[in-house]
Amino acid sequence: MSRLPSCLAIAAASLALTSSASGQATPQNDTFFTAGAGTVTTQKWLGSSDIRRGGQYFVTYSRPEPRFAFQNHPAQWVWHAYYLPTRGGAHFQAPFRTSHGYGLMASARYWNRAPQNLPTFIEAGWGVHLQDKWTDDVDLPLSSSPFIGMGVLVDIGGQEAIFATRLIHISNAGIGARNRGLNALVFSLEFKF
């Protein structure tokens, strides 16, 4: 049984609880970089069959983008560059297979603007993913990577940090023989600089 529903429930509950506390100003009009890391687990959704575990190491660049405004909500344009090492494929006495992925994604991020709340956000975006070897579910070295995410900005010892959860679908976008794809659930912590 997948642990995804419980993980999403915990993430949503923590965002709901933290968003009721008094917090700092929303960074929707700021331009900043972050560096972070997270854990990755893939889920058996939409035909995926290869359960993989690993990490994600990344940097982001965020800036205000008026063209992405939605119903009077300002937005940020966020660029994500990442490295994604994963292990999986061990079944029926087959050894684990390690793959190394690299990606570049762009997203529109929308912050909660209520001043009495901790700054939370939702985001959606798309990108490209380059992988060093084929896996059971990704059969081309270059793949598409649409994603959705949510997060919260917190202060950790005087340093602003973002806790985020993202679901990334890495697949060949229907241009290969198969199109199972990997559904990567990422829990991450990143620090602004």
Contacts of 94 (CB under 8 A, 6+ apart): none
CATH of domain 4-19+30-192: 2.40.160.20
- Spatial separation of the C-alpha atoms in residues 62 and 78, rounded to whole Å: 4
**Each residue of 39-49: pLDDT tens digit?**
998 877 666 66
Task: Give this prediction's pTM.
Answer: 0.79
**Each residue of 66-102: pLDDT tens digit?**
999 888 888 999 999 999 998 886 555 556 678 899 9
Mean pLDDT calculated for residue range 5-26:
49
**Each residue of 150-175: pLDDT tens digit?**
999 999 999 999 999 999 988 877 77
| H, E, C per residue of the chain | CCCHHHHHHHHHHHHHHHCCCCCCCCHHHCCEEEEEEEEEEEECCCCCCCCEEEEEEEEEEEEECHHHCECCECCEEEEEEEEEEEEECCCCCCCCEEEEEEEEEEEEEEECCCCCCCCEEEEEEEEEEEECCCCCCCCCCEEECCEEEEEEEEEECCEEEEEEEEEEEEECCCCCCCCCCEEEEEEEEEEEC
- Among the listed residues 176, 136, 151, 140, the one whose alpha carbon sits nearest the alpha carbon of residue 51: 136
Strands 159-170 and 147-156: antiparallel
- Spatial separation of the C-alpha atoms in residues 129 and 142, rounded to whole Å: 6
Tell me how far apart the 2 most distant CA atoms of the chain are, in Å.
Answer: 56
pLDDT of residue 22: 45
pLDDT of residue 173: 72
